[in-house]
Amino acid sequence: MTFAPFAPSSTQVGDNLTGLLHPARRAAASGRRDGREGMDVTTQQCPICHAELPASERYPDHLCAECAARAVDTAGRPLTFSNVGFSGGFRAVFTDDGTDADRVSRDHIVIVDGIRCWADEHRFGGIVVRPAPES
């Protein structure tokens, strides 16, 4: 009767040691705030007035509501934005007389404090205004 001598205890100790090392090293790495993973509640700045806003993953550069409300068309007429209907859709009207701002509804270009911006429907309804990409 012979016993087959496994050596389970020594390998288990080794596994435990490496298993302990890894979480510690990962915690140290994630302590640096340069990663993009994680769902931390952070803030972002309005690109016009630099007001602090809740961070938006999809719209990291959108204007705050106050700046968006100052949007005018390229001729300087104040604009109001709305969704076309339940299913969304972007629509701009002139604030002064409520008529459709057809060109803005079509090309989405508005001016806020002299800065070209892009107005469009928000993914979840409502309107989002962001600086227009340089063309």
Residue number, 88 or 118, with CB nearest to Zn ion: 118
Residue number, 67 or 92, with CB nearest to Zn ion: 67
Site string for Zn ion, 32-51 (x = CB under 5 A): --------------x-xx-x
Give the DSSP per-residue string, the chain: -------HHHHHHHHHHHHHHHHHHHHHHHTSTT---S----EEE-TTT--EEE--SS-TTPPPHHHHTT-B-TT--BEEEEEEETTEEEEEEETTT--B-HHHHHH-EEEETTEEEEEEE-TTSSEEEEEPPP-
Among the residue ranges 8-16, 23-31, 66-74, 98-106, the one whose residues contact Zn ion (CB under 5 A): 66-74
- In the complex, what is the shortest distance from the CB of residue 50 to Zn ion, in angstroms, rounded to a whole number? 7
Question: Is 115 a binder of Zn ion (CB under 5 A)?
Answer: no
Residue number, 53 or 109, with CB nearest to Zn ion: 53
Question: Is 64 a binder of Zn ion (CB under 5 A)?
Answer: yes
